[in-house]
Amino acid sequence: MRMANAAGANDIAEFVRDYVERNRRAIALVGDNVFYFGELGMQEFETMGLLTGVLEQGGFKVERGIAGLPTGFCATFGEGGPVVALHTEYDAVPDNSQVSGVTRQQSIVEGAPGHCEGHNVNAAVLVGAAMASAAAMKRHGLKGTLKVFGGPAEEQLIGRPYMVRDGWFDDVDVAFHDHISSDYEAGYGIIQSALISAKFTFHGESAHAGTAPWKGRDALDAVVLMDGGMAQYREHMAPSSRMQRSFPEAGDQPNVTARIASAWWYFRDADAEGARKLFEQAQKIARGAAMMTDTQVETEILAAVWPLRGNRTLADLVWRHIESVGMPAWSEEEQAFARELQANSGAKAEGLRTRVARPAGEAKQRWSANDAGDVSWKTPMCKFYYPAMVPNLAAHHWAAGAPLATSIAHKAAAAAARILAGAALECFLDPALVAQARRTFEDELGGAAYRSLLPPEQKPPVDLNRRTMEIFRPMMAAHYLKDKPVFV
């Protein structure tokens, strides 16, 4: 059956290769522009503007602000079935402003947000693959719909669960998610963890802490007591559980009893049930802390995701394209840069990977979570990792930011765009493959019913990170690139 399409498949592969080759600079410029925007989750306005502008020029019909997410979008090309989705994230990380192309810590703007996980390159791969796919669909008259989703605030796990809950993936047959790494990967099975992000805000009453402390009801005391309770509970939680917190509001001055104080928690576990159990225990502890301090507690779920899973049929498909495109050919200069960066950040100095290595068997579950998890329970999905990162460096560290607007990122993004477009186009060319992915997906779910962990009335936190961006954006804007991507 594949034979009937063999000539078509070769023509399309050649077309995609030429398209990406011709647009190498445009793809690189998408990633580099987004690198300098360095926008935190829910505030990716410049980024979304750039990406959707390019997609519109490529003939996509763009809907912005979907699912109550001002910086989320869906761009559609073509019509009818099958419906193939490409999606990724493009947010930066707080206090991670790093000059690209140097091997020492050096901020672009001191204290500002920056890309230190490579979501800027994710955006370049997404747009490069989408533009190449649309051009190939047009040229070769392929039937079907390509949907490109931009997901805001991945670092806070916000975007895609809202899109899934609100039905944006209901008609999607298969989906692909691209994410940076230091290797190629396209695993099947459970790849990442479940996570619930929740904020506990305590409300008390202020007082002069020196002259009349007995008049106050201290919200900060409640946060401290909750934290003590959580620390005790750690001893009794399952080995698969993890939880971390920060204190967004913790009082202003010692002489004013805190009227409002809050704790923001991430609850992680191997499955959604485990994350829910942690959250439920935390709610009891928070109520106890409120009772002890005579304060009131208000709980808000900011985000909740299922553990990301990979579909085997799509993993096999993507691996075929990885093997046909291969590793980028790194120059000696790029290898030397990588080794020096590794050495300077205390990592093993072994340079960039030069060989494609396909792991045997199912993926190993990671502790990280990604808000694309919910998509992967709704529709067969492949999470495709590509090698634009220098190996052995930890994301969210300055060193991980250093290669993100260099030729290393540019070469890997071009290769990844070719792979992703190749895999997506094969779904249009061979609808039987899509049907097979749907069948293996049903087997993999084994009857497990997905339901959103988000309360139905929950709205995305649109003000998240707004103040930080208002402070830093004017200083960061001085470094924006003048060159914009133009695809031909």
DSSP 430: -
| Residues constituting the chain | 488
Binding residues with Zn ion: total (CB under 5 A): 1
Query: Which span sits near Zn ion by CB under 5 A: 117-125, 168-176, 343-351, 371-379?
Result: 117-125
Residue closer to Zn ion (CB basis): 192 or 311:
192
Residue 88 CB, shortest distance to Zn ion, in Å, is 9
Strand partners, 145: 78, 83
Query: Which span sits near Zn ion by CB under 5 A: 24-32, 109-117, 260-268, 299-307?
Result: 109-117
Query: Which span sits near Zn ion by CB under 5 A: 1-9, 115-123, 417-425, 473-481?
Result: 115-123
Residue 405 CB, shortest distance to Zn ion, in Å, is 17
Residue 146 CB, shortest distance to Zn ion, in Å, is 23
Residue 119 CB, shortest distance to Zn ion, in Å, is 6
Between strands 174-181 and 381-387, the pairing is: parallel
Residue closer to Zn ion (CB basis): 116 or 419:
116
Residue closer to Zn ion (CB basis): 117 or 185:
117
Are 233 and 281 within 8 A, CB to CB? Answer: yes
Q: Which helix (H) or strand (E) covers residue 53, if one does?
A: helix 45-57
Query: Which span sits near Zn ion by CB under 5 A: 110-118, 210-218, 333-341, 459-467?
Result: 110-118
Q: Which residues, 6+ apart, have CB-to-CB distance to 247 below 8 Å?
A: 223, 261, 262, 263, 264
Rounded distance, CA 86 to CA 357, Å?
A: 24
Q: Which one among 91, 117, 371, 374 touches Zn ion, defined by CB under 5 A?
A: 117
Q: Which of residues 141-160 bind Zn ion (CB under 5 A)?
A: none
Are 433 and 427 within 8 A, CB to CB? Answer: yes
Helix/strand/coil for 398 = helix
Residue 181 CB, shortest distance to Zn ion, in Å, is 9
Query: Which span sits near Zn ion by CB under 5 A: 45-53, 116-124, 282-290, 352-360?
Result: 116-124
Residue closer to Zn ion (CB basis): 117 or 374:
117
Residue 401 CB, shortest distance to Zn ion, in Å, is 13
Residue among 386, 395, 387, 407 at smallest CA distance from 337: 407
Residue 128 CB, shortest distance to Zn ion, in Å, is 18
* Alpha-carbon torsion (10, 11, 13, 18), positive or negative: positive
Helix/strand/coil for 259 = coil
Question: Which residue reads 């069948």 in tokens?
Answer: 439
Rounded distance, CA 316 to CA 309, Å?
A: 14
Angle between helices 407-429 and 431-445 (to 10 degrees): 100
Residue 439 CB, shortest distance to Zn ion, in Å, is 30
Residue closer to Zn ion (CB basis): 117 or 221:
117
Q: What one-letter code names the amino acid at 196?
A: I
Helix/strand/coil for 177 = strand
Query: Which span sits near Zn ion by CB under 5 A: 7-15, 22-30, 114-122, 233-241?
Result: 114-122
Name the token pair of 343. Answer: 């050495």
Residue closer to Zn ion (CB basis): 117 or 426:
117
Site string for Zn ion, 31-70 (x = CB under 5 A): ----------------------------------------
| Cis peptide, bond prior to residue 82, ω within 30 of zero | yes
Query: Which span sits near Zn ion by CB under 5 A: 112-120, 126-134, 186-194, 420-428?
Result: 112-120
Residue nearest to Zn ion (CB): 117
* Alpha-carbon torsion (216, 219, 221, 225), positive or negative: positive
Residue closer to Zn ion (CB basis): 366 or 438:
366
Rounded distance, CA 16 to CA 191, Å?
A: 29
Residue closer to Zn ion (CB basis): 117 or 173:
117
Strands (E), 347-393: 381-387
Residue closer to Zn ion (CB basis): 119 or 339:
119
Residue closer to Zn ion (CB basis): 92 or 322:
92
The residue ranges that bind Zn ion (CB under 5 A) are 117
